[in-house]
Amino acid sequence: MAAALSSQHRAFGKAVRALREARGMTQDTLASRSKLSENYVGDTERGERNVSVRALWQLADGLGVDASTIMRETEKQLRANRKR
């Protein structure tokens, strides 16, 4: 398993995971709805992917949210990590 790329990538991954879990979705379901591989989704959630803008839009579509929702959740994750 590769290491997370950065704290920002880790926060983005946690945001995607939180949004996915809040919707009761598996990684496989999100991958299918996003038209991405399950490995890509898993790597993203672990912060091991440098997600392109296109993939951001695909993830947002798969989650049924705006891309800005993912980014807002990412910012929340970053703020929470800074407080630790």
pLDDT computed for residue 1 by the predictor: 61
Report the alpha-carbon distance of residue 50 to residue 57 in Å, rounded.
14
pTM to 2 decimal places = 0.92
pLDDT computed for residue 21 by the predictor: 98
Output the CA–CA distances (angstroms, integers) from residue 8 to 11, 34, 69, 79, in the order listed: 5, 21, 16, 11
Report the alpha-carbon distance of residue 53 to residue 65 in Å, rounded.
15
Q: Tell me which CATH code domain 7-83 carries.
A: 1.10.260.40
CA torsion, ordered 49, 71, 45, 54, to nearest 10 deg? -50
What lies within 8 Å, CB to CB, of 84 at 6+ separation is none
Structure tokens at 64: 């049924």
Tell me the domain boundaries of the chain. 7-83
Mean pLDDT per block of 10 residues along the chain (84 residues) reads 84 97 98 98 96 98 98 95 78
